[in-house]
Amino acid sequence: MALNAGTAYMELQLRGRKQVTSELKGMNARLKRFGSTIKSIAAALGTAFVIKKTGDFLAHAIKRGSDMQETMNKFNVVFGKSSEEMKKFSDELAVGFGRSKEQVAGFLSSSQDLLVPMGLNATAATDMSKGMTTLAMDLASFNNMADADVMRDMQAALTGSGEVMKKYGVIVSEAAVKQELLGMGLDPANVNDAQKAMARYNIILDGTTSAQGDVARSSESFANQAKS
C-alpha cells in the first residue's frame, strides 16, 4: 500500500515537472515571438522615420531651388543689362557678410524694383539698392534683429512710412524730410517722389552711423553666423 502510494506520488511529481517544463517552453516560445514582433515594429518605424526625413529633406531642397530660381528671374529682369555685374556684387556681398546668396539677391532686386518706379534712374537706383542692402544687414546685426525685417522697414520708410525707423533711433518725419530737401537745395513744395526718397535715405544714413559696418565688426558672433 505504501509502495503504491509512493509510486503514485512519484508519477504525480513527474507529471508536474513535465507540465511545468512544457509551460516554460511555451512561455519562452511566446516571448520569442513577442520579441520578434517588437523588432519588426521597431524596424518598420525606423524605416518610416528615415523615409519621412528623406522626403522632408528633398521637399525642402526642391523648394529652396525653386525659390532661388524665382529670385534670380526677378533679379535679371529688374537689373537688365547690368544683371551679370550685379550678380557678381551680390555673391561677393553674401560671402563677405556670411549671408545666403538668395537673401542678398532678393534684397537687391526688391529695392531696385521699388526705387525705379519711384522715379530714380537705373544707375541711381542700383547704387541705392547696394547701400540699402548693406545697411539693412548692418542695422540688423547692430540691433539683433532679422535682416528681412529691417529691410522691410527701410523700404517702408523710403515710401513715406517713417514711423517704422523710430525703433532704430532714426526720425524720418515730414519736418525732417523738408529740412533735408532744403539742405539738398530743393524746394520741398516742388519735389518728386524720387527726390523725397533720396532725402529720406540721407536721413537714414545720417542716423545710423553707429550701426554701419557692424557685420564686419561682429562677423564672428553667433548671432551673425546663425543668419547665414
Assigned C-alpha cell, 103: 537673401
Percent of the chain past pLDDT 70, that is, above it, reads 68
Percent of the chain past pLDDT 90, that is, above it, reads 64
Q: Quick check: 184 and 198 in contact, CB under 8 A?
A: yes
Q: What is the pLDDT of residue 9?
A: 45
In this prediction, residue 12 has a pLDDT band, given cuts at 50, 70 and 90, of: very low
In this prediction, residue 17 has a pLDDT band, given cuts at 50, 70 and 90, of: low
Task: Find the angle CA(195)-CA(118)-CA(205) to the nearest 5 degrees.
Answer: 50
Question: Could you report the per-residue pLDDT of 153-208, keeping only the tens digit for each?
Answer: 999 999 999 999 999 999 999 999 999 999 999 999 999 999 999 999 999 999 99
Q: What is the pLDDT of residue 218?
A: 84
Cell 524665382, located at residue:
70
Q: What is the pLDDT of residue 38?
A: 61
Question: Could you report the per-residue pLDDT of 112-141, keeping only the tens digit for each?
Answer: 999 999 999 999 999 999 999 999 999 999
Residue 170, classified by CB atoms within 10 Å of its CB into exposed (0-12), middle (13-18) or buried (19+), is: buried
Res. 3: pLDDT tops 90: no
d(CA 144, CA 124): 30
d(CA 204, CA 156): 12
Lowest mean pLDDT among 62-76, 80-94, 113-127, 201-215: 62-76
In this prediction, residue 22 has a pLDDT band, given cuts at 50, 70 and 90, of: low
- Tell me the mean pLDDT in the region 4-20: 50
Assigned C-alpha cell, 89: 556684387
Cell 511555451, located at residue:
26
Amino acid (1-letter code) at residue 142: F
Q: What is the pLDDT of residue 67?
A: 73
> Which residues have CB under 8 Å from 176's CB, separation 6+?
162, 203
